[in-house]
Amino acid sequence: MTLEILTSNSLAPIRHGFFTRRGGASSGVFAGLNCGHGSSDQTDIVRINRDRVAQAMGVNQDHLVGVHQIHSATVINVTEPLTEKPQADALVTNKPGFALSVLSADCQPVLFADPTAGVIGAAHAGWRGALDGVLDATVEAMEQLGATRDNISAVIGPCISQAAYEVGPEFFEDFIAMERGFDRFFIQGNGDRMLFDLPGFGLARLRAAGVGNAEWTRHCTYADPDRFYSYRRTTHAKEADYGRLISAITL
């Protein structure tokens, strides 16, 4: 099956893609394009999937670079192939030939580009990373490489939508403790539960950081099992494990 790659006109002409699960070699609960070595999928199969992504991005597999994601606000400046994955949640570069990548399965994959300056970025932004400032930090790191905030476009790829993201009162309190106005990203659910708008929060953080354009592709990972992996959907279905989607961008 051919790879399915979602793109945004806002990032053109920079080559990029939010890859769905379609077109991969994995089977079972991982069926499709599982690109996560952190899963219990077969290592060789994951390598095949990642090679297909590298080919689609026009780079060698060792130039499809990623990090060991830990829900942090740490950003890595990529200047050479990474022999080991550092602990971080975002990458930036102004060097051609590297495809910056992040993995996700409900969290926000965010791709950044300033085509004029020739600077790109990629960030993994779950609720913790977004609250702690990973999106702001990525913009700052791009700026240090010569990007201009007004010229940066940032696109949030497939992630969990508010309708599927039920949280408890302690989660809500974490956000309100940071800023009272963050209550606007929550609506009432059943009982003491609330529904959190992760992409809405991501867009607000990006706009507050001053990027010229910020948007969400409006794809919900939880609601579309044929196209996307979802950690929360897997948990609800009591499945043993889940695949990881990959998103990538290259100069």
pLDDT digits (tens, 9 = 90+) for 50-71: 999 999 999 999 999 999 999 9
pLDDT at position 1:
67
For the chain, list residues with pLDDT below 70.
Answer: 1
- Cα dist from 186 to 166, 176, 183, 206, 221, whole Å: 10, 10, 6, 18, 19
- What CA dihedral angle connects 14, 249, 228 and 86, to 10 degrees? -170
Q: Per CATH, is 5-161+197-250 categorized as 3.60.140.10?
A: yes
DSSP state for residue 159 in the 8-state scheme: B
CA angle 58, 159, 174 (to 5 degrees): 130
Distance CA 151, CA 9 (A): 14
Give the predicted TM-score (pTM) of the model.
0.97
| 139-179 confidence digits (pLDDT tens) | 999 999 999 999 999 999 999 999 999 999 999 999 999 99
One-letter amino acid identity for 226? D
Domain boundaries in the chain?
5-161+197-250
- Cβ neighbours of residue 62 under 8 Å, at least 6 residues apart? 81
Q: What is the mean pLDDT of the chain?
A: 97
Cis peptide before 13 (omega within 30 of 0): yes
Q: What is the pLDDT of residue 243?
A: 96
Instruction: Supply φ then ψ for residue 204, to 5 degrees.
Output: -65, -40
